[in-house]
Amino acid sequence: MAFVTESFLLQSRTAKRLYAAYASRQPILDYHCHLSPRDIAEDRHFRNLFEIWLEGDHYKWRAMRANGVPERYCTGTADPYEKFLAWAKTVPKTLRNVAYQWTHLELQRYFGIDCLLDETTARKVWDEANQQLTSGELSAQGILKKFHVKALCTTDDPTDSLDTHKKIQESGLETRVFPTFRPDKALKTEDAAAFNEWTNKLAASANVDIVRLGDFLRALELRHDEFHACGCRSSDHGLNYCYAEPSTETEAAAIFDTARARKEVRPAQAVKFSSYLMFFFASLDADKGWTKQLHLGALRNTNSRMGLEIGQDAGFDSIGDWPQAESLARYLDRLDAAQKLPKMILYNANPEDNYVFATLLGSFQDGTIPGKLQLGSAWWFLDQKEGVEWQLNTLSNCGLLSRFVGMVTDSRSFMSYPRHEYFRRILCNLLGAEMESGQLPPNEELVGAMIEDICYDNAAAYLGLPAVLPSSEPSQVPVNRL
């Protein structure tokens, strides 16, 4: 019997009906991911299962390392099949880890493969999947179509050329693809060499001669304008915690000069500069009606030996435990007082912060936009069943689940779209059980409408992406026009 069946994760009859009648029918709006715009523009065809599934997947590397698999088979020089085989041998050892469920959900949804992956089935799975990848419709664009992805937002540096995005938009691709403005490198004054290199790139991309802070801000704003013209409607920041120290323009200008002169910027100064910029970025977002996303609290690159051996961002991150509440409250308060509070989605890496974030953002809902401040979907180490339920329960208890803008893949891989299905099944399972136990009314239309909203319609209405409308509203803008 297959592992992933129609009732996967759906433990009650009501849950099954909710999933079939409401959740499964909604398209996908993946408003935060790390897919390569180039892969989409060029409609990348994947040569084998390694390329589409294992390359760059730190979840799998971590599981393999924990299973005693040498690095040669994770990020090293082993050939693609050897690496795949090492993964296949590891899969049975991942029982109860989300990787086990994702693996079989993905094999089923992409290739119709139902067997359990292990050492004995590895060759058969490899051959079958590769055959479909090379002869079928599972190219980058084919996958977006197959999974009914209405729109997606990539993650882009302000210095990135938007030519690839423009090419996608002009191609008539049915999936709407938009950039997201992620200026993390603008804050890194502590690393003078990297900061100056990035600032020079910014100068070139904005065509501005950057000497003083004012030039730097003008260049950033020009790039923000360019992103807007390309359909971008959100920014994103990956931070340890939200920087919100008092910081005047004079102070920020002096710190900028220090960094540009390649002199040492002390940690306290760097925080002041970041605080100044975070206010500036929020103002830009507020003025244009964008949504600001904050990913807070990940402790990155913890293993220095492995960092030296194989480079950064290779699966050696963890959850951090910085205090979040005070600085985040100060940030929201300052923006609110200045009438520069944009729509915001706050993602916490640490589950300890679920209630902190949910209650804090509740204090800044200002009665203008439904769900203006959002508790972001379960992120990174939390995007498994338990973490998703924690997020849903916290939001339900402290805010309005009905206004939630829903799940994102946050993935670099084209094989991650079933994560939306995974989330939707957990959502329907939770609600179905509560309908059956009498905690929610036995009204499938009422609860079903909320499910449709969370799966797609809320995000479509909230983000305001060009030509992306809730499925209940008729399209008024031609699909291939911004």
Rg of the chain on CA atoms, in Å:
23
> CB-wise, 208 or 408, nearer to Zn ion?
408
> CB-wise, 34 or 218, nearer to Zn ion?
34
Q: Quick check: 57 binds Zn ion (CB under 5 A)?
A: no
Give the interface size with Zn ion as a residue count (CB under 5 A). 1
Report the nearest approach of Zn ion to the CB of residue 217 (Å): 25
> CB-wise, 184 or 389, nearer to Zn ion?
184
Interface pattern 331-370 for Zn ion (x via CB under 5 A): ----------------------------------------
Report the nearest approach of Zn ion to the CB of residue 388 (Å): 16
Residue 303, φ and ψ in degrees, nearest 5: -105, 100
> CB-wise, 88 or 151, nearer to Zn ion?
151
Q: Locate tokens 């953002």: which residue? A: 361
Q: Could you tell me the end-to-end alpha-carbon distance of the chain, in angstroms, rounded to an integer?
A: 48
Nearest-5° Cα angle at 36, 76 to 48: 50
d(CA 359, CA 397) in angstroms, rounded, equals: 10
Report the nearest approach of Zn ion to the CB of residue 410 (Å): 4
Report the nearest approach of Zn ion to the CB of residue 227 (Å): 17
In the region spanning residues 65 to 94, those forming contacts with Zn ion, defined by CB under 5 A, are none
> CB-wise, 410 or 457, nearer to Zn ion?
410
Report the nearest approach of Zn ion to the CB of residue 411 (Å): 8
Closest CA to 275 of 334, 210, 342: 334
Please give the residue whose beta carbon sits closest to Zn ion in the complex.
Answer: 410
Question: Per DSSP, what are the bridge partners of residue 153?
Answer: 178
> CB-wise, 240 or 393, nearer to Zn ion?
240
Q: Locate tokens 């997201």: which residue? A: 180
> CB-wise, 234 or 274, nearer to Zn ion?
234
> CB-wise, 106 or 410, nearer to Zn ion?
410
> What region, left, alpha or beta, does residue 76 occupy, with left being phi > 0 and alpha being psi -120 to 50 degrees?
beta
d(CA 393, CA 359) in angstroms, rounded, equals: 13
In which element (H, E) is residue 448 found? helix 444-452
> CB-wise, 57 or 410, nearer to Zn ion?
410
Closest CA to 470 of 154, 150, 152: 150
Residue 432, φ and ψ in degrees, nearest 5: -60, -45
Closest CA to 275 of 208, 369, 187: 187
> What region, left, alpha or beta, does residue 438 occupy, with left being phi > 0 and alpha being psi -120 to 50 degrees?
left
Neighbours of 472 (CB within 10 A): 12
How buried is 341 (Cβ within 10 angstroms: 0-12 exposed, 13-18 middle, 19+ buried)?
buried
Report the nearest approach of Zn ion to the CB of residue 34 (Å): 6
Strands 149-153 and 176-178 come out as: parallel
Report the nearest approach of Zn ion to the CB of residue 238 (Å): 7
> CB-wise, 125 or 465, nearer to Zn ion?
465
Instruction: Retrieve residue 107's tokens.
Output: 């094999």
Report the nearest approach of Zn ion to the CB of residue 413 (Å): 12
Report the nearest approach of Zn ion to the CB of residue 412 (Å): 9
> CB-wise, 160 or 410, nearer to Zn ion?
410
Report the nearest approach of Zn ion to the CB of residue 356 (Å): 21
Report the nearest approach of Zn ion to the CB of residue 152 (Å): 12
In the region spanning residues 167 to 226, those forming contacts with Zn ion, defined by CB under 5 A, are none
DSSP 474: P
CB 259 within 8 A of CB 195: yes
Ranges of beta strands (E only) in 113-249 are 149-153, 176-178, 234-239
Which amino acid does the sequence have at 56? G
CB 100 within 8 A of CB 117: no
> CB-wise, 382 or 428, nearer to Zn ion?
382
Ranges of beta strands (E only) in 154-271 are 176-178, 234-239
Report the nearest approach of Zn ion to the CB of residue 380 (Å): 8
Interface pattern 386-415 for Zn ion (x via CB under 5 A): ------------------------x-----
d(CA 424, CA 36) in angstroms, rounded, equals: 25
For Zn ion, the binding residues (CB under 5 A) are 410
